[in-house]
Structure 1
């Protein structure tokens, strides 16, 4: 009887473990623009601090996780609060990114609402490539 139970449970456990997806990680990490947008999407629209920290360098991830809640991270690190926001990278065609061999500077545009007020904002991030994955290394000063 125990053999039959083991024969049934082992495939069931394998099936269940294969179905689990990790919602606290950003999977598209080959393109620095996508990483930057996914970081802010996780922070502002999904309200998931762990997911946002998953694409940060170890130093920046510690700082991000220090604030614990997405609203505290947004308020203290970026001085921006949104109820809902549209996020897009700079795609002007002139200088989409300043990319060198394993580093890039990405400009991200925000257009959203906070307490029924429309707020437009611009932020710049420095990304580096670690083990063929783009990670956010620094939050750069406001370009304007």
Structure 2
């Protein structure tokens, strides 16, 4: 009986300490989106800025220049306030349009319009942002963020 208890405790500690896999993106046609598309990179970047505790993943998904800009703000909340001009407590996002060419593997840059829905101070906020991406060594990197509607 004592041996069984130790095995259960060991199993629980191993499963509790393991990190979850990459989060699944439920967007695109039929709720599936390829990880090699600019839309996928834009969604993951937005989730990194709004849902992560630090900017590590967001800077990895950015160009070198834009990553330096993000690091200059030090925290996610500062990036939300200064770069996006949009503070949110919780957020969901989905791509609206952009980056859809017939031969997307030959595409070098893309502008993706993102619909952002979230809450701040118990108020629902809906915004549109345009994320500009470039393809660097086979990966999509965020180059800039701007307002879709001026």
TM-score range for the pair, normalised by the shorter chain length:
0.7 to 0.9
Return the alpha-carbon distance in structure 2 between the equivalents of residues 96 and 59 of structure 1.
Answer: 23
TM-score after normalising by structure 1: 0.72
Stretches of structure 2 that go unaligned for 5 or more consecutive residues are 1-17, 22-33
Contact 2:90 2:119 in 1 (8 A): yes
**Equivalent of residue 53 in structure 2, options 33, 36, 47:** 47
Contact 2:39 2:112 in 1 (8 A): yes
Shift of 1:98: 5.7
TM-score after normalising by structure 2: 0.70
Return the alpha-carbon distance in structure 2 between the equivalents of residues 113 and 143 of structure 1.
Answer: 20
For residues 1-144 of structure 1, what are the structure 2 equivalents within 5 Å? 30-90=36-96, 95-97=97-99, 101-144=107-150
**What's the RMSD between the two structures over aligned residues?**
2.2
Aligned length in residues: 116
Runs of 4+ in 1 over 6 A off after TM superposition: none
Change (3 A) 1:33 1:42: same
Stretches of structure 1 that go unaligned for 5 or more consecutive residues are 1-19
